[in-house]
């Protein structure tokens, strides 16, 4: 399933390849988020043309709408959304964190009040794996308990215990014929709990391992620390996935820490707010500075938006409420993330990753600090 080709001598960066039921994925890889069966504002043809290898779907949301009966009748999630490349499905464990106000954690799973109509729903290890088997994803994630970064030691202990117990139940459940299953390591920045959880999951021999409980509101140093704590206990011959991360600069640094797989909603989310990622950091295209700026979003980008339109035109579209504006920014941001990962793979292969990492940080960090300050102000 996973081949490790090369490890960078200056860091823990790894070059590898995942062979899955619906295709091959070169790593490190960024996985675009299609929570409800669609990467927002981008169609499958565009995703393929820009080099997307794998996308995500979400168990909780797809189970509610359109529901398993529809997806089963369509022949599975790949057929339903017309995406014949690999798909990873999150188990719904993140919703234990994100929907904390409408859920109740129980011994064998979590009871939710539907965010749509308030009806009662129950999701546990058996239910999450059964849903993912019906979806037919290439990679299914175990059902875990994702605690907030503000969790007390007692709450963190309970979440880790549930995660380990539920992982055993998930391991025992039926899966689709081609489906791989990844365990999820929890434990916050508690080194002992991270190690305990990682060792427990590795003993269960999952197909890959994710580092969860990151990007849940914690400062960036804590996020990096959580990854650094968990990574040494994950087997080198299995893929490693940092869930829900991150900005372009964070991805480069996390690759250097030995992570192979990433997903994040940022490319399309900030696009809908009029922001573009560039080599020098983020740019507010909606801002007045772009009103008569007839350059592309990024001079070095090969995306459709940058090859055909100017900042001034895209700003105009955004300010008059034309859907094309947010589509063009979504295309650019997603392609930018994919291009960064392509560059990372190429530099690991030719031995220049250390130089690439230095140059990326030097050009991107000033704006990155602004983004982090903005995020911290909302905590």
Domains and CATH numbers, the chain: 2-264 (3.20.20.105), 271-376 (no CATH)
Position 369 scores a pLDDT of: 38
Checking if the pLDDT of 350 tops 50, the result is yes
Kindly report whether the peptide bond that precedes residue 367 is cis, defined as omega within 30 degrees of 0.
Answer: no
HSE-CB at 327 with a 13 A cutoff on CA atoms is 12
Q: What is the pLDDT of residue 376?
A: 39
- Reading the block at residue 52, the tokens are 């997307």
Query: Average pLDDT, stretch 118-131?
Result: 93
Q: From CA 79, how far away is CA 137, in angstroms rounded?
A: 11
What pLDDT score was predicted for residue 378?
37
Kindly indicate the confidence band of residue 84, based on its pLDDT and cuts at 50, 70 and 90. Answer: very high
Average pLDDT over residues 252-259: 98
335 has a pLDDT exceeding 70: yes
Task: Quote the pLDDT of residue 365.
Answer: 55
Work out whether the CA dihedral 331, 337, 343, 349 comes out positive or negative.
Answer: negative
Average pLDDT score over residue span 181-190: 97
Q: Which entry of 8, 90, 138, 260 is annotated as an active-site residue?
A: 90
Q: Which of 61-75, 107-121, 358-372 has the highest mean pLDDT?
A: 61-75
Q: Check whether 251 has a pLDDT greater than 70.
A: yes
What pLDDT score was predicted for residue 7?
Answer: 98
Average pLDDT, the chain: 94
Distance CA 345, CA 354 (A): 12
C-alpha to C-alpha distance for 343 and 322, rounded to whole angstroms: 33
- Whether 90 is catalytic: yes
Q: How large is the average pLDDT for residues 59-69?
A: 95
CA–CA gap between residue 94 and residue 170 (Å, rounded): 16
Lowest mean pLDDT among 12-21, 157-166, 359-368: 359-368
As given in the structure block, the two tokens for residue 75 are: 């022949």
pLDDT category at 375 given cuts 50, 70, 90 is very low
CB-facing half-sphere around the CA of 237: CA atoms within 13 A:
4
pLDDT, mean of residues 351-367: 89
H/E element, 32: strand 29-33
**Which of the four pLDDT bands, split at 50, 70 and 90, describes residue 367?**
low
Q: What pLDDT was estimated at residue 368?
A: 43
User: Burial, 14: exposed, middle or buried (Cβ in 10 Å; 0-12, 13-18, 19+)?
Assistant: buried
The yes-or-no verdict on residue 27 having pLDDT over 80 is yes
Please write the tens of the pLDDT for every residue from 278-316.
999 999 999 999 999 999 999 999 999 999 999 999 999
Q: pTM of the prediction?
A: 0.94
Q: How confident is the model at residue 374, as a pLDDT?
A: 40
* Active-site pick, 8, 144, 145, 263: 263
Q: Is the pLDDT of residue 94 over 90?
A: no
């Amino acid at each position: 399933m996973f081949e490790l080709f090369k490890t960078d001598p200056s860091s823990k960066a790894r070059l590898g390849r995942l062979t899955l039921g619906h295709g091959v994925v070169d790593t490190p890889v960024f996985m675009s988020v299609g929570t409800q069966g669609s990467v927002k504002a981008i169609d499958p043809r565009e995703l393929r043309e820009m080099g997307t290898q794998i996308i995500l779907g979400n168990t909780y949301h797809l189970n509610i709408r359109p529901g398993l009966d529809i997806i089963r009748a369509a022949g599975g999630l790949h057929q339903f959304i017309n995406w014949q490349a690999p798909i990873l499905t999150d188990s719904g464990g993140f919703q234990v964190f994100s929907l904390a106000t409408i859920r109740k954690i129980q011994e064998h799973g979590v009871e939710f009040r539907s965010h749509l109509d308030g009806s009662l729903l129950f999701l546990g290890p058996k239910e999450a794996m059964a849903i993912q088997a019906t979806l037919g994803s290439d990679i299914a994630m175990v059902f875990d308990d994702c605690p907030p970064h503000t969790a007390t030691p007692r709450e963190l202990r309970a979440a880790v215990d549930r995660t380990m117990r539920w992982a055993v139940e998930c391991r025992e459940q039926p899966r689709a014929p081609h489906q791989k299953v990844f365990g999820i390591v929890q434990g916050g920045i508690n080194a002992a709990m991270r190690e305990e959880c990682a060792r427990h999951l590795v003993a269960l021999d999952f197909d890959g391992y994710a580092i969860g409980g990151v990007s849940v509101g914690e400062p960036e140093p804590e996020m990096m620390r959580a990854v650094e704590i968990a990574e040494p206990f994950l087997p080198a011959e299995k893929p490693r996935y940092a869930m829900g991360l991150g900005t372009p600069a964070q991805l480069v640094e996390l690759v250097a820490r030995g992570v192979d797989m990433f997903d994040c909603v940022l490319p399309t989310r900030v696009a809908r707010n009029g922001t573009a990622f560039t080599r020098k950091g983020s740019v507010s295209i909606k801002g007045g500075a772009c009103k008569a700026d007839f350059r592309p979003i990024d001079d070095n980008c090969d995306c459709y938006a940058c090859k055909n339109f100017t900042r001034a035109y895209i700003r105009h579209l955004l300010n008059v409420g034309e859907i094309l504006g947010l589509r063009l920014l979504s295309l650019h941001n997603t392609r930018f993330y994919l291009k960064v990962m392509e560059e990372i793979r190429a530099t690991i292969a030719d031995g220049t990753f250390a130089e690439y990492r230095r140059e990326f940080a030097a050009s991107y960090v000033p704006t990155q600090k602004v983004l982090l300050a903005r995020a911290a102000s909302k905590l």
